[in-house]
Amino acid sequence: MTRFDNLFQKGLADLSAQGRLRTCQQWQYAGGALLKRSDDVVVIDFSSNDYLGLRMHPLLRERASAWAQVEGSGSGASRLVTGTSSQACALEKRVARLKHMQAARLFSSGWQANASLVPALARLSAQVCGAPAVILADKLIHASLYHGCAAAGVRPIRFRHNDVAHLESQLQKIEGAGLRIVLTESVFSMDGDVADIAALHEVAQKYDALLCVDEAHATGILGPEGAGLANGLADVVVGTFSKALGSMGAFIAASEGLCRWLDNAASGFIYSTAPSPLVLGAVDVALDLLPQMDTQRAHVGALAASFRQKMHDAGQDTGPSSTQIVPILVGQEAQARTLAQKMAEAGFLAVAIRPPTVPPGGCRLRVVFHANHTWAQMEALADTFIRASKGMA
């Protein structure tokens, strides 16, 4: 025990008293949609983001191994030193085509990409425009984008969630030469709803604002051939390989000029070791598979739609969800934890989401559907939750 541990213990005790203390559990893949806990209890996974079930696909493991045989297990350095391989450059071109953009840059995680992007754009505004950037953010953007704003020293102007009219009213008030930057997501990870990208594009064009869209939860699972929802209408698209694509890492896709600026201004690109060839090999084959997976995407969408209807019929609130992510809003921390525990005891992993991930009073069970879920598993999940919630009434 160190001389500061009493502070940490007090902080942990405070979190526990609030019902917000979190602890990692150990999990092992058990086939299909199943996970095995460290105590050998097996549950059906309705919490992870492996939307297409690619995480354990044999082709991803084979391609990862093949790329490692050629390039090694690690990249060895940052991209600007010796970490840029021909395979990485080819993969960036593939990502750019997927997102209808001129170019792309790879990052080690979605957090790193978002936290690097915003300060890089803010630096451009100060250096080239001669004025601070003005950032307008949907109030429910990911924590990594808010971290990017903090790192940039910019306090964002928040507009109401998915309210394009409110965004426009805020843009109308802005004066000065600073770069206007709009931050949003195409699919919001906690509510499972979608942004009106076409309307956001129109407003951004009207007010000469740079539209940045995080497509972490759309890439691979939504849009034509899994291309996402931005459809070339955003100026910058951020996405991850760690969800529907079953691997790890992320990308920023944009114009060639913006990507060249990132080479010189994005701290996460400049100062971090480049992603491992193992990771990039898996991503490469996942991109091969995406156009062939319309059946799996339709299956996931149908499961989620049916589950939402069952919840609505039972009087449950799933918020504005319209995607593979279906929150069941339950209110307070204690209720969310109790329901999640009851579901786990019945063999279903549906993690309770609590503040600060969601606002106080907005606790929920976040249910996520995958291509390897069956109709019987979805129906059993719905029936079990309805019984559990009635037992708490």
Query: Catalytic positions, please?
Result: 49, 142, 185, 189, 214, 217, 243
Inter-CA distances, 74 with 17, 250, 268, Å: 43, 16, 17
Give the amino acid at 195: A
If one counts every other C-beta atom within 10 angstroms of the C-beta of residue 18, the result is 12
- Say how far residue 288 (Cα) sits from the centre of its chain: 21
- Say how far residue 369 (Cα) sits from the centre of its chain: 15
Q: Is 233 within 8 Å of 201 (Cβ atoms)?
A: yes
Query: Quick one: which of 36, 361, 100, 51 has its CA closest to 218?
Result: 51
If one counts every other C-beta atom within 10 angstroms of the C-beta of residue 312, the result is 11
Q: Is 277 within 8 Å of 82 (Cβ atoms)?
A: no
Q: Is 104 within 8 Å of 234 (Cβ atoms)?
A: no
Q: Give ∠ CA 312-225-378 in degrees, rounded to 5.
A: 30
State how far the Cα of 317 lies from the Cα of 302, in Å rounded to an integer.
Answer: 19
